[in-house]
Amino acid sequence: MTTLPDLLRGHALVEHLTRQGAHPALRQGKESVTYADLADRVSDVAEAYAGGRRLVLLTPRNDVASVVEYLGAMAAGQVVLMCAPASRDALVAAYDPDVVASGVAREWRREGSVHDLHPDLALLLSTSGSTGSPKLVRLSRDGLVANARAIAASLHVREDDLAALNLPLHYCYGLSVLHSHLLRGAALLLSEASVTDEDFWQQARDVTTLAGVPHTFDLLERGGFAERDLPRLRYLTQAGGRLAPERVRAWAELGRERGWDFVVMYGQTEATSRLSVLPPDRVLDAPTSIGLPIDEVTFTLAPADHPDADVGELVARGPGVMLGYAESPADLALGRTTHALHTGDLARRRDDGLWEIVGRRSRFAKVCGLRIDLDHVERSLAAEGFVTAAADGGDRVVLGVACEARAVDVAAVEAAATRVCGLAPTGVCVVTVPDLPRLANDKVDYRGVLAAVAVPAQRSSKPRMSPATAADIVGLYARLLRRPDARPTDSFVSLGGDSLSYVEVSLRLEALLGDLPAGWPHTPAAALADAPLARRRRGTLVETNVVMRALAILTIVATHANAFGLLGGAHLLIAIAGFNLARFQLTGASRPQRTRRILTSAARVAVPSALVIGVFSLVGLWAEGLTWRQVLLVNGLTSASWSEPGWYFWFIEALVHTLVLLALFLSIPRVDALERARPFAFPMGLVAVAMLTRYDVINVPGDAEHRAHVIFWLFALGWAAARAGSTRQRLLVSVVTVVTMVGAFPQWERDAYVALGMLALVWVPRVRVPRAVAGVAGVLAAASLWIYLTHWQVYPHLEGSWPWLALALSLLVGVVLSGAATRLERLVLRR
């Protein structure tokens, strides 16, 4: 067994990692990293940070690169602010970090630091339930080390352990799993897959430990965990919220049958992580208990307004207790301001010496003059078989009940709640939701419960952040994405948003919120509503890919109508499609979800295309040459040379074929795992393979530049552009773009146009344009598919005499039909 007094302190960290040698440290997909290799990588990152202490905001994923970035920054003595993706923009604005990093990118915002950073300060974490709030927990290196050591001792972490790290690294519980296992030289399996995903269990079959919050155990039950064969599993740990006693007992009994332990733990972000452990041999006798304090932690009770004399507010003391809160950059200079942590939890010490939480001091509502203990309401209803989330709705108690897994008898819940609360029926509101809304750390999002019924939460002293509420944004998503089940915890991407719906949603959101923050597609609706109100400036920010889509369709139609000539728009659209695939279909989804998303996007292009081509061909609106091949989008597979109108729709065919084949390719578990492990290298590898057809190593007879497998390199380059997170990666994409575009087409202007469009995607994420221009660009981009499909029937009648009128009418017809198709689709789905 290896111990380390100064884990996370300078070179001692690298030395500790080095001493573990060839022992496995991290595993992600097919990648396995030894401790020696990890030491080298951490040392390289630490060297990059050398030269002084800085405030580093890190948005980690559960991957090797993020762990290396975090450990390297710690080894270099930096102060790391761990950040959930949804909180990134708000925290950047509030704390002005010197460096903004992820596992794949590092943005140096200045040479040194503008902050006065206290010598003891090492880590900043968001407080539980404060997604997007500027209030942070200040933690010291000594506290992190002491907590990791105590947890490792309490759980008897061994060198031969393999812990599944599926909790987010920006969450204190997930981070403590990392710390405690690295301390003992154990290995960690890094994964962002859900425990309901079979891909996760294919990788996790040999894990020895698994950590979860209450929601994790809900998912485990749904996923048939009890039947899984996990021969090396030693124990499950549960923290991050209260698990009902009957479920604690059920999990403990299952563990006893299957040969593993169920360990209940209790902790808070303000105490670095976990504070107590319930010994596994006492779980069945004391399923309501949080156990005993870990090493170097003591519990006492402070007086509280509670009818039971033996109940008080739990107060924790120990080295892991935070230095204090930070609410502004000036607070980063403070030393210790908190010596005892008043947890806000009401607790008692039992006769057997174990500690027990009985409620939350701040979890009270006052309705009709009665003081309602919301935790007591939840526990009482759970005892009657109703799993609810009780929130303070001001003049009533709001109860959220999940209805996705089973039907809910609302009347029965209301009757039980009014009896438990001692209120009239008007004092209780029951709202059913598919699943209870969750925060980033998987705890219940009570604000989300309130938003589900548009009940205003208690007024805060903080100024209004956004002109829109979470309910406004959820309603917008429900309408535009046709997702009536949308919740405040959902984002545009998680609801299945894609490149076709992106433009309209972004424009509508901008009308609500002002300039949208970077990364808004992945930000939950509640966090968007809580984001700082954007300062209104002249013009508006529009994402470059929207502008390029509008420009591409404009130049396509203008060239065909003889208004002006600039070829290459359709090839640029292929690259943009790859760019958007990475941003929407491949982000934040399991393997089956990815497959469904990609195939759905392909269908949203293929179905209207087949219908339009079929209708026009049947009514004779096209000359001879339009056959079933075009209707079924297989002309490129059955015809060798260009002919009109047979090849008019090559772009549609190429895009649909590419999406379908990629969906099948990425549905292979090993391919999916490789893409997740190497998100940038994977599409660049596809670019390299595509060079075989780009440079005729594999010869393609006939009209090569209009076939999917020949122009696939453009799609893959767009994909890589979206994944490029560092300057080096963006430079690589840029160089490959410029080199491969030279001579790609017979006209150099065409080469230049596509190359410049690609470079804009890589280097200019957003551009500020006049609002009128933004509106026009948004409309054209959103209608680009219908403009492309229908312009063939408009411009030929006017191109000889009135080319500009031909252009204008072609665009207008496509926009009008696009709007009509969207309204029809919504009407059909509503019925």
Torsion of CA 9, 13, 15, 17, to 10 degrees: 170
Answer left, alpha or beta for residue 296, where phi above 0 means left and psi between -120 and 50 means alpha: left
Q: What is the mean pLDDT of residues 601-623?
A: 80
Q: What is the mean pLDDT of residues 86-102?
A: 90
State the pLDDT confidence band at 35, using cuts at 50, 70 and 90.
very high
State the pLDDT confidence band at 466, using cuts at 50, 70 and 90.
very low
Q: Look at residue 1 in the predicted model and tell me its pLDDT.
A: 36
Q: Look at residue 38 in the predicted model and tell me its pLDDT.
A: 96
State the pLDDT confidence band at 705, using cuts at 50, 70 and 90.
confident
DSSP-assigned letter for residue 297 = -
State the pLDDT confidence band at 625, using cuts at 50, 70 and 90.
low
Average pLDDT, the chain: 85
Residue 434 has pLDDT above 80, yes or no: no
Q: What is the mean pLDDT of residues 435-451?
A: 75
State the pLDDT confidence band at 406, using cuts at 50, 70 and 90.
low
Closest by CA to 568, choosing from 552, 548, 591, 545, is: 552
The CA distance from 603 to 609, in Å, is: 9
The CA distance from 529 to 489, in Å, is: 11
| E-assigned strand segments in 638-780 | 766-769
Q: Look at residue 331 in the predicted model and tell me its pLDDT.
A: 95
The CA distance from 764 to 703, in Å, is: 33
The CA distance from 33 to 22, in Å, is: 9
Question: Percentage of the chain surpassing pLDDT 70?
Answer: 88
Q: Look at residue 375 in the predicted model and tell me its pLDDT.
A: 79
| E-assigned strand segments in 239-393 | 261-267, 274-278, 289-293, 298-302, 312-317, 324-326, 341-349, 355-360, 364-367, 370-373, 388-392
Residue 642 has pLDDT above 90, yes or no: no
Q: Which two tokens stand for residue 180?
A: 């405690």
Question: Over the Cα atoms of the chain, what is R_g?
Answer: 29
Local structure of 276: helix, strand or coil: strand
Angle between helices 681-694 and 708-723 (to 10 degrees): 160
pLDDT single digits (tens) 726-767: 788 899 999 999 999 999 988 999 999 999 999 999 998 888
Residue 830 has pLDDT above 60, yes or no: no
pLDDT single digits (tens) 315-328: 999 999 999 999 89
Q: What is the mean pLDDT of residues 456-473?
A: 50
Q: Which of 505-519, 548-562, 763-777 has the lowest mean pLDDT?
A: 505-519
Bridge partners of residue 373, in order along the sequence: 364
Q: Look at residue 459 in the predicted model and tell me its pLDDT.
A: 33
Q: Look at residue 223 in the predicted model and tell me its pLDDT.
A: 77
State which of 148-162, 213-227, 513-527 shows the largest mean pLDDT.
148-162
State the pLDDT confidence band at 435, using cuts at 50, 70 and 90.
confident
Q: Answer whether 137's CB lies under 8 Å from 269's CB.
A: yes
Q: Look at residue 148 in the predicted model and tell me its pLDDT.
A: 95
Which residue has better confidence, 178 or 624?
A: 178
Cβ atoms < 10 Å from Cβ of 639: 17
Element (H, E) at 124: strand 121-126
Element (H, E) at 712: helix 708-723
Which residue has better confidence, 219 or 347?
A: 347
Q: For residue 121, which amino acid is it?
A: L
Q: What sections of 214-330 are H helices per DSSP? A: 214-222, 245-258
Q: How many CA atoms lie within 13 A of 17 on its CB side?
A: 28
What is the β-pairing status of strands 24-28 and 31-34?
Answer: antiparallel
Residue 464 has pLDDT above 50, yes or no: no
Angle ∠(109,112,114) on CA atoms, nearest 5? 80
Closest by CA to 787, choosing from 431, 578, 485, 549, is: 549
State which of 21-35, 78-92, 449-463, 490-504 shows the largest mean pLDDT.
21-35
Q: Look at residue 654 in the predicted model and tell me its pLDDT.
A: 92
pTM (two decimals): 0.52
Q: Which of 86-90, 170-174, 632-636 has the lowest mean pLDDT?
A: 86-90
Q: Rounded to whole angstroms, what are the CA distances from 707 to 613, 649, 680?
A: 19, 11, 25
Domains of the chain: 11-357 (3.40.50.12780), 363-451 (3.30.300.30), 470-537 (1.10.1200), 544-770 (no CATH)
State the pLDDT confidence band at 677, using cuts at 50, 70 and 90.
confident
Place of tokens 């089940």: 485
State the pLDDT confidence band at 192, using cuts at 50, 70 and 90.
confident
Q: Answer whether 771's CB lies under 8 Å from 515's CB.
A: no
